[in-house]
Copies of this chain bind each other. A is one copy, B any other.
């Protein structure tokens, strides 16, 4: 066990996988000499050289398309897209390329690439640098989408993602990079597709992703003071989704709050609500509550941005409302 920042845990995962497998290489904007704007790739160009750690031009569209075919022809690229807001530029490569080939080429290709990016608000970065477009990504068949919330999961899931033969979009959060946590030593792998129960509870289930997990844990503390026992489930993997974990928890609590930092309408929280409708309708004593960003652009000014973001208070309020 070692205490590490989330960014350091990611860096360790990249270093270990690159050392173990010469076909793993990294590319992205400012990830080499500078070590990445969030310092996740620090020191890797020095260690592995300029062929395996590449600074790129600002060309997200082609970079993503290149990751797809590089992955089909013998390498395991790890591409960094600086902000999740730029994901639209990667979407043709994801929706019209990465998504289709395994199936339409009759299972004859593997596509082991990882697209790392980071999203989310709270840092005053404005309408074009603060979004979580989780839903657009999780909508795409044939790719995985994961979003660890702790340093240990960041490391273990990034290693699993690099070894996965399907494309994996790996969602980080700008406000998680400096969060510290214990990370087990050695070659830890956290399988993709498994949720983690962070807090057991019996009255209401809080299902959250990425930084919203931190808020859900805080909300559980607040609810405890209200005399309510909340279960907190870190979904970790948006696609594939661990629906069994969801159903098991709801079968116990009969009340659910789903939390995601994306917009509400057609957002990832909508799928969680619909999934619960599909698989656990009869267990519900109240409608699933969605806690999300309101459906509007993210403003710059601090009081505006802060008022808009989902947080522990809003989760608590939603939980209380479902229990009324």
Contact = CB atoms under 8 A, between A and B. Distances in A.
Contacts of A88: 88, 91-92, 94-96
A3 B19 CA distance: 69
A281 interface: yes
A142 to B, nearest CB: 7
A284 B282 CA distance: 11
Interface string A140-157: 111000000000000000
A33 interface: no
A111 B85 CA distance: 21
Interface residues of A, number: 54
A34 interface: no
A262 B131 CA distance: 23
B103 A267 contact: no
Contact of A265 (B131, B138, B267): B138
Interface of A: 61, 85-86, 88-89, 91-92, 94-96, 99-100, 103-104, 126-128, 131, 133, 135-136, 138-142, 239, 241, 262-263, 265-271, 273-278, 281, 284, 286-288, 290, 295-297, 299-300
Given A86-B92, A136-B136, A139-B263, 8 more contacts: A95-B133, A103-B127, A103-B296, A139-B266, A241-B265, A274-B288, A281-B284, A281-B286
